[in-house]
Structure 1
Amino acid sequence: MCGISAIINTNNNKVPRDEIKAMNDIVFHRGPDQEGFYEGLNFALGHRRLSIIDLTISGAQPMIYHDKYVLVYNGEIFNYLEIKEELKQFGYSFSSSSDTEVILAAYDKWGDDCVLKFNGMWAFILFDIKKNSLFCSRDRFGIKPFNYIALPSKFLIASEIKQFTAIKEFEPNLNYKEAYNYLVNSHLNTNEDTLFEGVRVLLPGYNLNYNLNNHNCYVKQYYNIEKIKKNRSITFSQASKQFSEIFKNAVKIRLRSDVEVGACLSGGLDSSSIVCEVKQMNGNELKTFSVCFSEKQINEEKFIDVVAKKSGFESVKIYPEMSELIDQKIFNKLVYHQDQPILSGSHFAEFALFSKANEHKIKVMLDGQGADEFMAGYMSFFYKFFLSLIRKGKFLFAIKEIYQFSKNQKRSFLFISAKAFLYSITNQRNKDKHKLYFSDLFKDRNYKAQKNTKSVYHESLLQINETSIPYQLHSEDRNSMMSSIESRLPFLDFNLTEFIFSLPDSYKLKNGITKAVLRSGLKDILPEEILNRHNKIGFATPDEIFIRKNHSSVRNNLVEAIKDTKGIFNNSILEYFDEFVQEKKPYNSVIFRIYSFNIWLKIFKVKLN
């Protein structure tokens, strides 16, 4: 896990060392162990290293391979040992034990198609000396970041957008359409555009090729989860067994490390599955880290204790106080490291957890991101499931599933039925209510409609590609790297995701429970309390309590936002806020978003045109 930088001068002038070093220094936190540079005729590469595999100088970057290629790379190729053995059969030899050298040898053998061999997370820039070109790639699901921008005389690449601020030619201008998407629709990271006008991300599953002779650049997709075909012949029993086997390997290869590995443990099904799977692997020890809250409705400590007792692993708990967000100016720090405003205080919980892991000298953490989106883990999936069954005329099946679901949720059949119906018609209405707090000009020029899906399959695709996973991965990368920690995600092993994606919806949602195939496949290793748990909390935080306790500071921020943003907001948000403080109106998350947005504008000195 590292930080990468690149500057290409399109006027073909040599890049001054102080420019690439300035970009590199900004992400010292991503790689505090070493730094390195490579300078070409009209470009320069920079690298900050967090040593995980092969801690010696042999694994340092930029890595030069037989005077043919140069690589700067952020991430891990977890199946690098298997690829190395395959390459040895073709006569390749290796001088280091790092996965970096394996990437270079794989490119030498298979060219751009080398990425199809990789099981891992990556964002890299590979200079092909003979072709005088850069081959860049980002992993299948975008676990590792890759940002770029074309300026009048430069083309820049960076792990984090803030690195661009080291270049004088870069101007931080607001992308109004993405601002609308965040403020009104509650979405970030849904496409290649960012809140900074002109700054783009290389989308997950894409390569970028840059010709250093003529400065032509193009991107090409190499992976698309939608091409995975449904497996309609597999039985549920077979699927459960196969899930168990693939998941075990996904966890096993993510334990490959020359430094200590820890794990996030929320007490939920996903993180508990990872911890319990590690326990099954003889000889492995694991320190777990958990966030607990004094608010009973969001505290999962009893489930954390169950898993800790079952595994026998050391359990480290933290009890973060939301007041620290303002008192210790952590909010500003979070927004700075995220390169964008945040959606909720859940970032603080995640930040606090990784900070504690860093105190314990942990450099690698396992986490459960990705399971919900692929295995229909959110409650919203059930509502889509019910309605799709009804549309298909499967009324008895729908009634049975609603009955089981309502029983598991300890709700009445009528309540769940009504909620499913209301969910299908009120989602956009709730977004429309948010528009009341914004100027007509801002709304009219930047309106972006919400996508509404009608099936579990399409809802899963939407969350994987746009509305959930991209934002979750962006958040986790920045929060972990703030503490110089590499976060590894077994549920996003592409062998596992492709298998899950191929299964029928009824293998994910079955008898009123979510993630049915996981529960069945791991029933022998999970505690009963976790296996039969049906409520979901995740990285929840008491945002409403935070806003109320700091209402004076928040209100001042809202007043400032209305004044300084040149007509994005109107005064109605202040009226609503005052009534909320007086407990006349319910909490509205748009308050948090406006508060965060205004802080982001100030930190990055974003210009409003």
Structure 2
Amino acid sequence: MCGVAGEVTFDGERADTDVVRRMAATMHDRGPDGEGSWSCGWAALGHRRLSVIDLSDAGGQPMQSADARVTIVFNGCVYNHRELRHELEPGRPFGTTSDTEVVLAAYERWGARFVDHLVGMFAVVVVDERRREVVLARDRLGVKPLYLATVGGRLRFASTLPALLAGGGVDTELDPVGLHHYLSWHSIVPGSRTVLRGVRKLPPATVRVIDERGGTQDREYWAPTYERDAGRACWTARDWEDAVEDALRTAVRRRLVADVPVGVLLSGGLDSSLLVALLAEESADPVGTYSIGFEDAAGESGDEFRWSDVVAERFGTEHTRILVPTTDLPTAVNEAVDAMTEPMATQDVAAFFLLSRAVSEDRKVVQSGQGADEVFAGYRYHRRAGRVSRDRALDAFAGTFSESASGVRALVEPGRLPAGDVSRDTIAAHLAAPGAETALDAVLRLDTHLLMPDDPVKRVDSMTMASGLEARVPFLDQDLVTLAAACPPALKIADDGKGLLKALGRRLLPQEVVDRPKGYFPVPALRHLDGALAGVARDALLAPEARQRGLLRQDVVQAVIDRPDAFRTRVGGALCWQLAVLELWLQRHGIR
């Protein structure tokens, strides 16, 4: 895992290497084990490295081709690099098995279609001096980010948004559409947008080729169909369960490639418990597992140790409990906001930040269960979507997840949002697109390919990488996701949701873990904004910077400050915290 940065010019001027160094320096936490830089005049690249595989013979990044005419920076992990190496030989002699070297060779062999051959999570930038082109690519599920900004006609890119800010000159006005998404979808800003007008993202599953004049051509290189496959029409439920088990085993095995022990972030829920069970079968040594909990608040329990202990005992893991006192949360919240690539208001952000910091003292690589709910239908609105016709997909989703258009508009001063309900329009267009057979298919496609990369995936990547910890997500393996997309919806919503995974759990896990009520990462003090955390929110919303910004209506601000538990989002979060995190993030990143 690493951090990448760079600048490309299109007017004959030299790229600013000082800007690139500043951007790369801000990502020290993502890559504490080394740094590198390179320039050819019109392009400059920077890199920060986190080593989880021995690269002593591989050279650093940026890495160049043998003729020094192609240069690459790479962030991520390619799980099939050994297979690719075998496919590329004997045409290219390899000195090592490093991902970067193999990806570079793949580009030299297949050009911009190299991404079609990669299995893994990655953000890649290639400067091709032969063709006078720059190629940007992002993995299929958007696990690894790539932010973009145009400054003075120059293209800049980096693994984090704050890195772009460090380069200077970025348009930091709030983007009205991005803001509407943030308020509508509980801080999710999906696709290419961010909350800032001058910063965009390369969408998942996209390869972008930029020519020497700045012209761009995008290709979406992967989009699984959410329709039934005639070749599997005769499959029974047991056939599907077996196929999912095989695919998940492969996904877990792929993510064990490292020269350091691989642990698991264990919540005690079904998804992370399945990972522990499968890793325990693969590993000759005890699996390291890590669980975090918080003090109770407002009568709500703050930990799931009861369940994680059952799993740890069943599989003989080396288990670590991390109990965080409420008094530690205000400081942790501010540190977590500093680490956010974009503002993220879900209560578990601070939990992942603290968990990652503790785990990083013992591990460099972990597996995590993110994505299982989106891929295998784990939410209540999935079951609702499973009961309605295809043309009711929008109602099934928007009625339980999206905030109302009038409610969103009531939060901000006039003129700060676009006309119309752009968030609902975005959802409607995505749900109506061909390639999804039922309402549930359409909703799961929306969750997995539009919203998820900028919700749990972005959250985990930001918080783990802030401590130099690499998180791998087996449930987002491209082959597993493709298989699940083709699966009959009834099997996914069976057994009160995630029926296929529960069937697998009944084979591998203690029964009480499979049948337990669905839980979430509980941080009660944040959910209810108790004590000092209410003060953090109040200080952010009433700060001089917030008043000068003039974004939020002051009557709304005062109401949510006075009664934070009375104003909740449709998914149960504190509206006060959602507004405060946006303002706090803007302030802590120096955005006026």
TM-score, normalisation: structure 1:
0.87
Q: Aligned AA for 1:23?
A: M
Q: Post-superposition shift, 1:124?
A: 0.7
Q: Which stretch of the first structure deviates more once superposed, 539-548 or 158-167?
A: 539-548
Q: Post-superposition shift, 1:103?
A: 0.8
CA separation of 1:532 and 1:248: change in aligned 2, threshold 3 A: same
Q: How does 1:121-160 map to 2 (within 5 A)?
A: 121-160=121-160
CA distance in 2, matches of 1:424, 1:153: 39
Q: Does 1:537 align with 2:520?
A: yes
In the alignment, what sits opposite 1:558?
541
| 3-state secondary structure, aligned to 1:571 | helix
Q: Aligned AA for 1:602?
A: Q
Q: Post-superposition shift, 1:499?
A: 0.6
In the alignment, what sits opposite 2:276?
275
Q: Which stretch of the first structure deviates more once superposed, 363-372 or 127-136?
A: 127-136
Which of 571, 583, 589 does residue 598 from structure 1 map onto? 583
Q: Post-superposition shift, 1:557?
A: 3.1
Q: Does 1:460 align with 2:444?
A: yes
Q: Which stretch of the first structure deviates more once superposed, 272-281 or 103-112?
A: 103-112
CA distance in 2, matches of 1:344, 1:206: 27
Q: Which stretch of the first structure deviates more once superposed, 108-117 or 132-141?
A: 108-117
In the alignment, what sits opposite 1:313?
317
Q: What are the ranges of 5 or more consecutive residues in structure 1 without an aligned counterpart?
A: 393-420
Contact persistence 2:43–2:127 (CA under 8 A): no
In the alignment, what sits opposite 1:507?
491
CA separation of 1:427 and 1:195: change in aligned 2, threshold 3 A: closer
Deviations 1:389-434 (A, max 9, x none): 9999xxxxxxxxxxxxxxxxxxxxxxxxxxxx99985666756445
Q: Post-superposition shift, 1:562?
A: 5.9
Q: What are the ranges of 5 or more consecutive residues in structure 2 without an aligned counterpart?
A: 432-437
CA separation of 1:71 and 1:448: change in aligned 2, threshold 3 A: same
In the alignment, what sits opposite 1:339?
341
In the alignment, what sits opposite 2:410?
436
CA separation of 1:540 and 1:507: change in aligned 2, threshold 3 A: farther
Q: Post-superposition shift, 1:350?
A: 0.5
CA distance in 2, matches of 1:239, 1:352: 38
CA distance in 2, matches of 1:487, 1:287: 14
In the alignment, what sits opposite 1:397?
none
In the alignment, what sits opposite 1:217?
216
In the alignment, what sits opposite 1:359?
361
Q: Aligned AA for 2:413?
A: S
Contact persistence 1:174–1:606 (CA under 8 A): no
Q: CA RMSD in A?
A: 2.8
Contact persistence 2:64–2:71 (CA under 8 A): yes
Q: Post-superposition shift, 1:378?
A: 1.3
Q: Post-superposition shift, 1:491?
A: 0.7
Deviations 1:142-165 (A, max 9, x none): 000111112223110111111122
Q: Post-superposition shift, 1:215?
A: 2.8
CA distance in 2, matches of 1:253, 1:425: 38
In the alignment, what sits opposite 1:30?
30
In the alignment, what sits opposite 1:112?
112
CA separation of 1:469 and 1:588: change in aligned 2, threshold 3 A: closer
Which of 285, 305, 323 does residue 301 from structure 1 map onto? 305
Q: Aligned AA for 2:445?
A: L
Q: Which stretch of the first structure deviates more once superposed, 305-314 or 459-468?
A: 459-468
In the alignment, what sits opposite 1:384?
385
Q: How does 1:8-407 map to 2 (within 5 A)?
A: 8-67=8-67, 68-88=69-89, 90-212=90-212, 214-226=213-225, 229-230=228-229, 231-295=232-296, 297-326=301-330, 328=331, 330-360=332-362, 362-388=363-389
Q: Aligned AA for 2:576?
A: I
CA separation of 1:97 and 1:585: change in aligned 2, threshold 3 A: closer
CA separation of 1:562 and 1:127: change in aligned 2, threshold 3 A: closer
Q: Which stretch of the first structure deviates more once superposed, 30-39 or 560-569?
A: 560-569
Q: Which stretch of the first structure deviates more once superposed, 555-564 or 35-44?
A: 555-564
CA separation of 1:563 and 1:390: change in aligned 2, threshold 3 A: closer
In the alignment, what sits opposite 2:500?
517
Bigger-Rg structure (1/2):
1
Deviations 1:75-103 (A, max 9, x none): 00011111212222x53320112121111
CA distance in 2, matches of 1:199, 1:423: 28
TM-score, normalisation: structure 2:
0.90
Contact persistence 2:526–2:533 (CA under 8 A): no
Contact persistence 2:180–2:423 (CA under 8 A): no
Contact persistence 1:59–1:97 (CA under 8 A): no
Contact persistence 1:289–1:315 (CA under 8 A): yes
Matched residue count: 572
CA separation of 1:234 and 1:168: change in aligned 2, threshold 3 A: same
| 3-state secondary structure, aligned to 2:319 | strand
Q: Post-superposition shift, 1:522?
A: 4.4
Contact persistence 1:59–1:96 (CA under 8 A): no
